Amino acid sequence: MTLPRIATAVLLGAAGLAGLTGTAAAAPSSPSSPPGPARLIGQHLDWGACPAEATDLVEAGAQCTRVTVPLDHTAPDGPTITLALSRIRAKDPAHRRGILLANPGGPGGPGLEYAAQLRGAMQDAADRYDLIGFDPRFVGRSTPIYCGTSPKAQPTHSRREAFEVSVRNARDTARRCFEHGNNAALLPHASSRNVARDMDLIRAVLGERKMSYFGTSYGADLGALYTQMFPRRADRIVIDSVTDPALTQYENFQVAGPVQERGLDEWAAWTARRQAEYKLGGTPREVRASVERLVSTVDAGPLRLGDYTLDAASLGLIIRQFVNMEENNATLAKSVRNLADAAAGQAVQPIPELRMWLELFNTPDPALDNMFNSGNAFFCGDNGWPAGGWPADPEQYWRAIERARPTQPVFAATANAIFPCPFWKTRPSGPRTVIGNHVPLLLLQAERDNNVPYTGAVALHRRLKGSRMISADIRSHGVYARGIDGLTPVPCADRVVNAYLRTGVLPSADLTCAHPGEGR
């Protein structure tokens, strides 16, 4: 099943819930024999047609190839892996700036088509660059990793039972990921630092002195990391929707919980004004109570909707997905109404928007296995040892969930969920990188982003002393190029980004873009 790009980016933020989905057991690629460092930089790239299913690339007339990179950048003469690369040549050779790489987020999100998807939003600025898309190492078509078949979801009938199942699933995922195929050799080299090194090698292989970049969500964090590791190679850098670099991944998930509850409050106020349509309550408090009753019902046992069942972990993830974007207000209201009817004993079928997610959670899919578990590999491989900064004691997660419940009745379990990282079998390949530099760049953030809270962007902005920050008064994960996902664009932000990519001149000061219109 193909998910919208923005849905994929947000969903991958809950990669620790991979046990929700049965997955097929495809085998990973093995590292190839070493070509040597000189041949890596001077390697010949055989550009040709892109995969037929990559329709955005085909329609853009893009070319695709594979580039060889070291599995371990500290041992460039050792084993290698290959990365999938796409290129759309600059349409304005007279004003060509160079290359612009793009990453859509994750970690675990494939990006081969992303640069092509950005072209419409970039307008004439796109004509000045060779637009480069790539699947990061171990993702999509770039020596992908798989972890075999997940166990089927187990019905639970209490919060504690659901937590214990999540611990077993996390432990099982860590075991399967280590034992499957050639993963024991690959996983130690799954880190954002190595992706940044891959990006810089792509730059060198393409013969460019510098590299421009656009990244959103995890891709934005990756862009900040690149400026730290390769400051002299960074050209025009735009990062959108970032996390606090001082926090671990686990801590970043935790700080999002209260903001997600505030997003739910905002949605509840919107829904209360439409009581005649959705019948979930005439006040925000009554609407929120409808959601909390639903959560309590599913905590006590799976909810049946036609041919599907919905458990507590899936419900939390679905609500989190929908509340992330104000354009999803109506979809969330219809979904809660649908689920409340099922909880009341009515024989209802899931509405199409819910059906998509229920099928996703119950259908074996190698691509989804790769997205989730390559995401897990990076979550566990970043931030040093032990466990990538994740608490080792499972009970610490339970205590965090219980402490959060009084103020986070809907999202406590999701924001404090255990991931496979405490049980991960391989050590990260390097230390954590401290971010702090003067590289000029443009940073964007939605003020009511409840996937990566605004406070994290402010913290990163302070560390990136050469940055300018564009804030947007919206509830959204992502500010630039929202139109490519069918969302309401923020014209002010799109203009500023395109002007910077066109001229290289940053705004003279930080600025805030007003709300582009009423949330749907």
What does the pLDDT profile of the chain (520 residues) look like in tens digits? 445 555 555 555 544 443 343 333 344 445 554 445 667 998 999 999 999 999 999 999 999 999 999 999 999 999 999 999 999 999 999 999 999 999 999 999 999 999 999 999 999 999 999 999 999 999 999 999 999 888 788 899 999 999 999 999 999 999 999 999 999 999 999 999 999 999 999 999 999 999 999 999 999 999 999 999 999 999 999 999 999 999 999 999 999 999 999 999 999 999 999 999 999 999 999 999 999 999 999 999 999 999 999 999 999 999 999 999 999 999 999 999 999 999 999 999 999 999 999 998 877 788 889 999 999 999 999 976 666 789 999 999 999 999 999 999 999 999 999 999 999 998 876 778 899 999 999 999 999 999 999 999 999 999 999 999 999 999 999 999 999 999 999 999 999 999 999 999 999 999 999 988 744 4
Total domains in the fold of the chain? 1
Domain assignment present for residue 340? The answer is: no
Domain assignment present for residue 306? The answer is: no
Domain assignment present for residue 397? The answer is: no
Domain assignment present for residue 190? The answer is: yes
Domain assignment present for residue 312? The answer is: no
| 445-to-16, 168, 450, 461 alpha-carbon distances in Å | 25, 36, 11, 10
Domain assignment present for residue 430? The answer is: no
Query: Is 53 exposed, middle or buried, given 0-12, 13-18 or 19+ CB atoms closer than 10 A?
Result: exposed
Domain assignment present for residue 57? The answer is: yes
CB 312 within 8 A of CB 159: yes
| 472 CA to centre of own chain | 20
CB 271 within 8 A of CB 333: yes
Q: What is the domain extent for residue 109? A: 25-210
Q: What is the DSSP letter of 48?
A: B
Angle, CA of 418, 423 and 428, to the nearest 5°: 105
pTM: 0.94
Domain assignment present for residue 179? The answer is: yes
**Best CA proximity match to 402, nearest among 158, 206, 183:** 158
